[in-house]
C-alpha cells in the first residue's frame, strides 16, 4: 500500500513456497514513516487475510484442498501460508467456486 501513516505503509510479498508444508510464502514488510527503514519481522492481520485470495487469483496455489464450510453449499479451500518474518505457518480457509477464481462477498455488486 503506502501513505504517510504506519497503518497504510504495509507491503505483502507473496510467492510459491519451496516448503513441502506450505502453498505460498508471505513476507510482511512495514515501511518506515519518519525513517528510511523497512521492517520484515512482524505481521499484520489485515494484510495476512488478503494473502490467500491474492495467491489463488494469481495462480500461485497449485493444489486445491477443500476447507471446512460453516455455510451449506459454500465451497471453501484451505491455503497453507508460511510467514517468513515470524517463521509461523497458518492454514486459513477461504470461500471459492469452481467457476470463478474467487467468490465475491455476498450482497455486493
The predicted pLDDT at position 73 comes to 76
Give the whole-angstrom CA distance, residue 19 versus residue 82.
9
Q: Which of 67, 1, 64, 70 is nearest to 30 (CA)?
A: 1
The predicted pLDDT at position 99 comes to 40
For residues 60 and 14, is the Cβ–Cβ distance under 8 A? yes
Cα pseudo-dihedral 49, 51, 54, 59, rounded to 10: -140
Please give the class, per CATH, of domain 6-95: alpha beta
Give the whole-angstrom CA distance, residue 66 versus residue 23.
14
The predicted pLDDT at position 47 comes to 92
The predicted pLDDT at position 101 comes to 47
Range of lowest pLDDT (7-16, 33-42, 95-104)? 95-104
Secondary structure (3-state) at 48: helix
Give the whole-angstrom CA distance, residue 90 versus residue 3.
28
Amino acid at each position: 500500500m503506502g501513505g504517510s501513516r504506519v497503518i497504510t505503509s504495509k507491503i505483502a510479498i507473496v510467492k510459491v513456497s519451496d516448503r513441502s508444508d506450505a502453498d505460498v510464502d508471505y513476507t510482511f514488510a512495514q515501511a518506515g514513516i519518519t525513517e528510511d527503514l523497512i521492517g520484515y519481522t512482524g505481521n499484520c492481520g489485515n494484510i495476512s487475510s488478503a494473502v490467500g485470495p491474492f495467491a489463488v487469483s494469481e495462480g500461485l496455489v497449485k493444489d486445491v484442498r477443500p476447507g471446512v464450510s460453516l455455510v451449506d453449499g459454500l465451497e471453501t479451500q484451505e491455503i497453507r501460508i508460511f510467514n517468513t518474518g515470524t517463521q509461523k505457518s497458518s492454514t486459513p480457509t477461504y470461500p471459492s467456486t469452481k467457476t470463478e477464481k474467487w467468490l465475491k462477498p455476498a450482497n455486493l455488486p
